[in-house]
Structure 1
Amino acid sequence: MATIKDIANAAGVSLATVSRVINNGPKVGEATRQRIKKIMLEMDYRPNANARALVTKRSASLGVVLAEMLDPFFATLAHGIETVTQERNVQILMSSGSIRRETELKAIETLLEHRVEAMVVHSKALDDATLIEFAREVPGFVLINRYIEAIGNRCVWLDNVAGGRLMADTMLRQGHRKLAVITSRYQIDDPAQRLQGIREALADAGIELPESNIEYSTPDHAGGESAIHNLMARGAEFTGVLAYNDAMASGAMTMLFDHYITVPDKVSVIGFDDVLLAQYCRPKLTTLRYPIEMMAAKAAELALAYAEGQQPEAGVTFKYTPTLVKRESVKAV
């Protein structure tokens, strides 16, 4: 692969002149600039992003911090970011925060060590003050899936309370009055906000949600199975299950089928996220679509724009709302 030295030798110019052309610098005549670009094209030269960072003090990269890599939700988020970076010819530097404060902090600091000035951060463990400070230090810092009022113009987030209300309203419209909620035990905002929305919708309808009908577990297939097992073990009565996400909903349906409780004939189940899994459950899962791919693309666009000097507009925020996707797992009683 050609190097910057190869280009300089072929063009008969100094390394500094080639560097100025690569970085769109001044003091290079137009004829020389075009000749060097032609040689770069002929020799298939690709500027190294890290080398450019050393010269420009900026990185031609977008840093991304996710909670985890393998979860389908975060894979979809990453794909949304990738659609933007591919168009802009920007490299992605990705790291996992694992919903732990120390890991999230290290992930962000590592990106800063690479001189990344545009980053999309999914943080659930860091406190507001720490994230606000990062937003002040990093020009292109954008939060996804979280809202902090002080930096609202750097937040791309989902109205989880509205999502919880929509889940409950969907069941209520189908005549369900005995509901169970299976939700995440992680101490983050999303499950608490969705549960808040559920409680609000049920309260408006004059329906009680007993604490014994709420079960906390891990937000995955195994957690859904365990939650339904525990609900049935203590004799909770329900005709509908509201699940924190599609993975828990899928696990819930598995456990119900294992006990010869058919979905949706005997129990209806609704999920949240609308990841690919929802389409391949049997029955296909009725769920709430979390427009995470669209949100991720927006977050990437904002991060790159802010890093390039565009100023976040005061008073603006980027709130998204989930929508219902009707499939086969919810039925009227």
Structure 2
Amino acid sequence: MRGHTVVTAVSVILMYAAIVANSAMDPYKALHIILNPNGTLTRLNISPQSPPSPDPTLPTPVVSKDLTVNKSKHTWVRIYLPHKALDYFPNSKLPLIVFYHGGGFIFDSAASTYFHDFCVRMVHATQSVVVSVDYRLAPEHRLPAAYEDSVEALHWIKASNDPWLRHADYSRCYLMGESAGGNIAYTAGLRVAAEVDKIKPLKIEGLILIQPFFGGTKRSPSEIRLSEDNTIPLPITDLMWNLSLPVGVDRDYKYSNPTVNGGDRILDEIKVLGWRVAVFGCEGDPLVDRERELVKLLGHKGVHVVGKFYEGGRHGIFVGDPSMSVKVFDLVKKSPIM
């Protein structure tokens, strides 16, 4: 027993040593960004971008196009539609998925190839209509700007006369997001639950949260266990929160820690509305314990929630690895989900 205690103590010391080593990392250099005196970022590396494919005469299984949501805010959406909905099923009504991309609130867009390819695969696999939202980024626009843009996009969808959206079944709408986008889908869901009558005929059926980005002032066991993670090391996540949260708040603020003060009161309304929530995670992701805490909170509140956690993996695997994306797509194909 004494030997076991010594080994455990040594393991803890090594974990904290790794955290100290990681803390020496310059996250600005690691992310190739420069914080300017006026609070804006210079992003030295822009991720690959993909244009939409709006031409229905091309032999592509999925068509896509970009439409402006709010010109003054430079926000827009990319709509994806199965090609055969135009050719063979002009009157078909397909599930509607509103997707929010990741990027730590400070990177990427709906045109980023990484997320564009995921949406194309999802539409082809699930025969759904996907609306991918491009929201304002921090620190130029700190939270709650991304939440406001995401809710505004839902109001835009309900009022839109775009012919592609006529293929969407507004009574089967799901909010989905990955990483920071998962955080946005959750928080946008909270906001919409407080005003469901205002977005009719849109009817939210549930939330699909893929490795949602949450945090807290106290390190979680998985953050300590995976302190040397190369995908999202702690100095990187710390910086992302520092650049995106409102000035003057810490990571126990409600935007980053959904469990603070026992969770948002509107969760009681989500229970009454009967929304279903799925949370995807994997054991190789430092954020996994945050995700498990969210599942526990929702279950305690009586919300219909399912946690889908897998061994190994890394942060971003459900979007970046097509074999893991299928696990998300299989859930989407169920009606209703879960």
TM-score normalised by the chain length of structure 2: 0.34
Q: Which structure has more helix as a fraction of its residues?
A: 1
- Structure number, greater radius of gyration: 1
TM-score normalised by the chain length of structure 1: 0.35
